[in-house]
Amino acid sequence: DAKTTQPNSMESNEEEPVHLPCNHSTISGTDYIHWYRQLPSQGPEYVIHGLTSNVNNRMASLAIAEDRKSSTLILHRATLRDAAVYYCILNYGGSQGNLIFGKGTKLSVKP
């Protein structure tokens, strides 16, 4: 299975941007990059996904390196509600339902 590497934890101040990195050096051409987050006591929540180009949605932006071996999830203005574990996942073909979760990055947001 394709693997990702993320920092165990990160801290941010409220209302500041947050850049969450992810390395996936063994990514294949058909792997989509997915990001999910899990708030305390809840199931994971979809954040964003992309293949080659940078992506934006109402929750976040995804910046993908040109060689696709790394990506960065950008939260433009962190709020206390963004405190969660963020998972970067490679999904073969994009549509497979077998997401392989790593340990993720635990994001803490300070007021």
Partner 1 sequence: KAGVTQTPRYLIKTRGQQVTLSCSPISGHRSVSWYQQTPGQGLQFLFEYFSETQRNKGNFPGRFSGRQFSNSRSEMNVSTLELGDSALYLCASSGLGRALANEQYFGPGTRLTVT
| Alpha carbon distance 80, 64 (integer Å) | 26
Q: Is 96 in the site for partner 1 (CB under 8 A)?
A: yes
Q: Is 28 in the site for partner 1 (CB under 8 A)?
A: no
Label residue 42 exposed, middle or buried (CB < 10 Å: 0-12, 13-18, 19+): exposed
Q: Which residue has the tokens 């950008």?
A: 74
Least Cβ distance, residue 93 to partner 1 (angstroms) = 8
* Segment lying near partner 1 (by CB under 8 A), choices 3-11, 16-24, 66-74, 90-98: 90-98
Site residues, partner 1 (CB under 8 A): 32, 34, 36, 38, 42-46, 49, 51, 87, 91, 93-104
